[in-house]
A and B are shown apart, each in its own frame.
Chain A
Amino acid sequence: MSPFTDSEERFPPHPSLNLPRVMATPATAPVPHLALSVEGAEKRFGANVALAGASFTVRRGELVGLLGPNGAGKTTVIKAIAGRVRLDAGAIILFGRTLTLDDKRPEIGVVPQELAVYSLLTARENLEVFGALYGVGPAALAERVDWALEWSDLKDRAREPVKRFSGGMKRRLNIACSLLHGPKLVLLDEPTVGVDPQSRERIYEMLAALQRQNVSIVLTTHHLEEAERRCERIVIIDHGTIVAAGTPAELIAGGTVTGVAMGGATLQDVFIALTGRELRE
């Protein structure tokens, strides 16, 4: 049984937005269709500015790609949403609730970039322990684990230690472990790094299935072609600020990006145009 059984309506298809290059700070009053609103997030680590007033929103049931060069602030903003980074300024509003650092966030599922599973445990055992730790009761746990194994296409290998899995299988399990408690917003940090194209396709199919159940998804990736093809909306971050946001088509169309038409361009062209060609640490 899927944990995503609530009867919320799928948010209607995205309106055609003429997004500005940098999104304006959203209104402070809760917006019913918003799953997440990050407002003016600022964070410094010593002299290093990780976030410099980043603001963006995620709608319910939307798949948003958070793109940026290395060190742009992607992981910091994901961690801030997950409650692992204390913001110096700004706010995070989750389903209309302004969060403090100590607030529990059961609506969120976090999929770290690392393969955060126990390699000596089987797939089923991993799902069972993380489900229990995330508060899934014993009665529902078995059903949720069965669903997760089915969803991640690991049912046949459920009783094998994870150390025997391929990279793609581990990635799928890594995602599944974050979904057992039925989050309404899933944050994925580089979910397809280091896996083959077949596994990447499978992972995006899994995410699409989640979307159909009105789950909002934010993912970071360096695979721009994938983001262009799979994400409904793209948010580009650089030097801790949001430099562009919109649908891939809008960004590529150019008018919303650089003010200069970029006909025939790809998302990668747009990305380079916005973030420059200099190498990042």
Chain B
Amino acid sequence: MIGTLLRIGWINMRRDGVVLALTFVLPIMFFSIFALVFGDQRNPTRRVQVAVVDEDRSAYSTAIVTALQAEGGLRVRLTADPDNADRTLDRQGAQDLVKKGAVPVAVVLPNGLGAQPGFWGSGARPKVQILADVSDPVAPQMVLGLLQKVSFTASPASLATEGMAMFEKYAGPLTPHQQKAKEEWLKNMAQGRGPAMTNASEGAGFGLATEIVNVMQPGGGDAATISFYAAGIGVMFLLFSCAGAGGTLLEEEESGTLGRLLSSQAGMRGVLFGKWLFLTLMGAVQLTVMFTWGALFFGLPLVSHLPGFAVMTLFTAAAASGFGLLLATVSRSRQQLSGLSTIVILAMSALGGSMFPRFLMTETMQRVGLVTFNAWALDGYLKVFWREAPIMNLWPEVAVLAGLTAAFLLLARRFARRWETL
């Protein structure tokens, strides 16, 4: 009897493509995506793009820049325009690059750094600023660590000079013989790359004085971080909702209601347009409810970003609705739609950044993610809430989403022909 039950289960599963796909294809697909995202074998640590502004232009700051460029984990950018080496970056330009999302971190080496690196104290020493987009929590810390490392290794003479000064300050002056030996040693060390000798700085700190500046949210707080998760989760569930609601087409086809609708004045174009419009409105309301909840209970700055939110929500909902209809018209049954939408939407969400931020992925995976609908929608929401971009700056995302909407609807119309005339 057990054998018979096993046989029934096996036959049912073998003949149900959706169950087979959910059982075997989906896990493998997800494993592959996660492996690709987190397991780039040739470059296990992704290279962080960093803009460097050298305001000091001293030998010491130049040595730091050179050392940063030599770091394998960094990709250093020194110019405002990648194609024009003459346009050196200034502080404002670097801040703009971070705000636009071109780089996650910028390092500003301030005036006076070479004259007073201040390895051994904090005092009045100049602070190196790290302008950071803290949506990427890894990059600023990585740059900070490498910066401290190169600050020591880039100019050992500076480090030794300050160290000896500190010794004299707290242990008493050197004897004339010691003084002579020290000067000779420092002279040798400084040859070729040594910066100007400096006085010792005061204070109890160790290493370069640094300061991480959150250029996205100068006032601090994590309200905009919440917007990222609201958009990510919202878009993923919007896709599920639209695919599910688009499935009413299949139910209507099975019940004969679609035939009745097609015999009416609406026709297939009218039916598809009506459903797309309804799904778009439903999706817009769904996203609005989600963001409103975020505003009420998690401090999401919705009111101050309403125009951008409205634009992104409208185009995101329109594209998601078109995608839902496309999935429904491709599917042969509600069950098939359910399986297909689960596989496709979860894969798109993983690649497109709904599950974890795309900026944590390798550059290759970030580029791959752009083939998904989610990536463009999330980039748009990030521009609105995170980068405070004006509405006009949303045009690439809006254009792509509008194009996808048109493509989805055209394909859905094409696949829906099978229901019209035999």
* Interface, chain A (partner B; CB < 8 A): 45, 79, 82-86, 101, 104-105, 108, 110, 112-118, 130, 133-135, 177-178
Question: How many Å from the CB of B316 to the closest CB on chain A?
Answer: 28
On chain A, the residues within 8 Å of B259 by CB distance are: 84, 110, 112, 114, 116
Option from B254, B264, B422 in Cβ contact (under 8 Å) with A134: B264
Q: Judge whether B260 and A116 touch: CB under 8 Å.
A: yes
Residue of chain B at shortest CB distance from A82? B263
Please name all residues of chain B whose beta carbon is closer than 8 Å to the beta carbon of A113 when the two chains form the complex: 256
B262 at the interface (CB under 8 A from A): yes
Which residues of chain B are within 8 angstroms of A116 by Cβ–Cβ distance? 255-257, 259-260
Among B265, B420, B421, B422, point to the contact of A133 (Cβ < 8 A): B265
> Hey, which chain B residues are within 8 Å of A45, CB to CB?
422
* Interface pair B422/A79, CB less than 8 Å apart: yes
Q: A133-B265, A133-B266, A134-B265 are in contact. Are A110 and B421 (CB under 8 A)?
A: no
Most chain B beta-carbon neighbours within 10 Å: one of A113, A118, A133: A133
A79-B422, A83-B421, A84-B421 known; A115 vs B255 contact (CB < 8 Å): yes
Across-interface contacts of B254 in A (CB, < 8 A) = 114
CB-CB under 8 A for A133 and B256, given A45-B422, A86-B422: no
Nearest to A118 among chain B residues (CB) is: B257
Jot down 22 A-B pairs with beta carbons below 8 A, ordered by A: A84-B262, A84-B263, A84-B420, A85-B421, A85-B422, A86-B421, A86-B422, A104-B265, A112-B260, A114-B255, A114-B256, A114-B259, A116-B255, A116-B256, A116-B257, A117-B255, A118-B257, A130-B264, A133-B266, A134-B265, A135-B265, A178-B260
Q: Do residues A110 and B422 form an inter-chain contact, with CB atoms below 8 A?
A: no
Q: Please, how many angstroms separate the alpha-carbon atoms of A83 and B254 in the complex?
A: 19
A130 B260 Cβ-Cβ under 8 A: yes
| Chain B residues bordering chain A, tally (CB within 8 A) | 15
Roughly how many angstroms separate A83 CA and B420 CA in the complex, as a whole number?
A: 9
Shortest Cβ-Cβ A-B pairs, 10 listed = A114-B256, A116-B256, A133-B264, A112-B256, A116-B257, A116-B260, A85-B422, A134-B264, A135-B265, A86-B421
Interface string of B244-274 (1 = CB under 8 A from A): 0000000000111101111111100000000
Interface residues of B in 262-293 (CB under 8 A from A): 262-266
**A110 partner, pick from B257, B263, B265, B420, beta carbons under 8 A:** B263
Question: How many angstroms between the C-alpha atoms of A134 and B260 in the bound complex?
Answer: 10
Contact residues of A: prevailing secondary structure: loop
- Closest residue on chain B to residue A126 by CB atoms: B257
Task: Render B186-199 as a binary contact track against A, CB cut-off 8 A, 1 for contact.
Answer: 00000000000000
**Quick check: B260 and A84 within 8 Å, CB to CB?**
no
Beyond the given A84-B263, A86-B422, A113-B256, please list 7 additional residue pairs across the A-B interface where CB-CB is below 8 A: A86-B421, A110-B259, A110-B263, A114-B254, A115-B255, A135-B264, A135-B265
- Contact in complex: A117, B265 (CB < 8 Å): no
| B274 vs chain A, min Cβ distance (A) | 10
- Return the chain B residue nearest A134 by Cβ: B264
Residue pair B257, A117 in contact (C-beta under 8 Å): yes
| Chain A residue at smallest Cβ distance from B261 | A133
- Residues in B with CB closer than 8 Å to A101 are 421
Q: Please give, as numbers and ranges, the residues of chain B lying within 8 Å of A104 by CB-CB distance.
A: 265
Nearest B residue (CB) for A189 = B256
Chain A residues whose C-beta falls within 8 Å of the C-beta of B255 in the assembled complex: 114-117
Q: Which residues on B sit within 8 Å (CB–CB) of A133?
A: 261, 264-266
Within 8 A of A (CB), among B220-264: 254-257, 259-264
Please give me the residue from chain B that is nearest to A102 by CB atom: B421
**Taking the nearest CB of chain B, how far is it from the CB of A148, in angstroms?**
15
Q: Which residues of B contact A105 (CB under 8 A)?
A: 263
Central interface residue in B254, B255, B266, B420, by most chain A CB within 10 Å: B255
Closest residue on chain A to residue B274 by CB atoms: A133
Residues of A near B421 (CB, < 8 A) are 83-86, 101
Q: Which A residues lie within 8 Å of B261 (CB)? A: 133
CA gap between A134 and B421 in the complex, in Å: 19
From residue B190, how far is it (CB to closest CB) to chain A in Å?
A: 85
- A118 CB to nearest chain B CB (Å): 7
Which residue on chain A has the smallest CB distance to residue B264? A133
Considering only CB atoms, which chain B residue lies closest to A133 in the complex? B264
Chain B residues closer than 8 Å to A84, beta-carbon distance: 259, 262-263, 420-422
Task: Give A86 to B417 CA distance when docked, in angstroms.
Answer: 13
Bound: A118/B260 CA distance, A: 11
Which residues of A have CB within 8 Å of B263?
Answer: 82-84, 105, 108, 110
Chain A residues in 8 Å Cβ range of B422: 45, 79, 84-86
Query: Which of chain B's residues has its CB closest to A117's CB?
Result: B257
Contacts of A86 in B (CB 8 A): 421-422
Query: In the complex, what's the smallest C-beta–C-beta distance from B415 to chain A, in angstroms?
Result: 18
User: What is the CB-to-nearest-CB distance from A94 to chain B, in angstroms, rounded to a whole number?
Assistant: 14
Q: In the complex the two chains form, is A115's CB within 8 Å of B256's CB?
A: yes
| Residue among B254, B261, B264, B420 with most chain A CB within 10 A | B264
Residues of chain B within 8 A of A134, CB atoms compared: 264-265
In the complex the two chains form, what is the Cα distance from A130 to B265 in whole Å? 10
Q: In the assembled complex, which residues on chain B have CB atoms less than 8 Å from the CB atom of A130?
A: 260, 264
B264 / chain A contacts, CB cutoff of 8 Å: 130, 133-135
Q: Which residue on A lies nearest to B257, using beta carbons?
A: A116
Output the least CB separation between B273 and chain A (Å): 13
**Minimum distance in angstroms from B416 CB to a CB of chain A:** 14
Answer whether A177 and B256 are a contact pair too, CB < 8 Å, given A83-B421, A134-B265: no
